Amino acid sequence: MNIRKAITKEALSLSLNARDKNGIIEELVDLLDHSGRIADRKAVLKCVLEREKKMSTGMHNGLAIPHGKTDTVEGLVASVGLIPEGVDFQCMDQQPAKIFILTVSPANRAGPHIQFLAEISRLLNRADVRRRIVEADSLDELHALLTGE
């Protein structure tokens, strides 16, 4: 899985407006929709919200990775949004989430999702990288930090 292929500048936000879990997920889905990366906004939103009901995707270190699977996408796509001051996303470490990475992948293929999570986890395991992402001043800078370009 190539992070560069999954994340485009058009599906990034330096400052999400929503301050609750469902609103954040909806805004991230809208980024994918407006960027032309998904064909069925309603199906994508439904699969991500259903997955989130099963267990929170709030991780550690200010990171949340809401995700879902649907046959309405041909390959893994992702959107990324920031809330620099952080919000409650029911993270495992009980800390506020600041970096939100939403992924949607085909229902019948687990490989791309697992590979993407491994790559993004390696990148975001570093505190200095997370700090630089949250402090990004432009979509170009955010995209470069996420993709290594």
Domain count, the chain: 1
For residue 107, being part of any structural domain is answered with yes
Span 31-44, pLDDT tens digits: 999 999 999 999 99
Ramachandran sector of residue 13 (left: φ over 0; alpha: ψ -120 to 50; beta: rest): beta
For residue 9, being part of any structural domain is answered with yes
**Cβ–Cβ < 8 Å for 134, 82:** yes
For residue 125, being part of any structural domain is answered with yes
pLDDT surpassing 70 at residue 143: yes
3-state helix, strand, coil in the chain (%, to 5): 40, 20, 35
State the residue range of the domain holding 67: 3-144
For residue 44, being part of any structural domain is answered with yes
Active-site residues, by number, are: 67
pLDDT surpassing 60 at residue 21: yes
Other CB atoms within a 10 A radius of the CB of residue 55 amount to 8
For residue 149, being part of any structural domain is answered with no
pLDDT reported for residue 108:
85
For residue 77, being part of any structural domain is answered with yes
pTM: 0.95
For residue 35, being part of any structural domain is answered with yes
H or E stretch at 149: none
Span 41-63, pLDDT tens digits: 999 999 999 999 999 999 999 99
Question: What's 59's domain CATH number?
Answer: 3.40.930.10
**Long-range CB contacts (within 8 A, 24+) of 118-121:** 119/1, 119/3, 120/3, 120/65, 120/146
For residue 62, being part of any structural domain is answered with yes
pLDDT reported for residue 148:
83
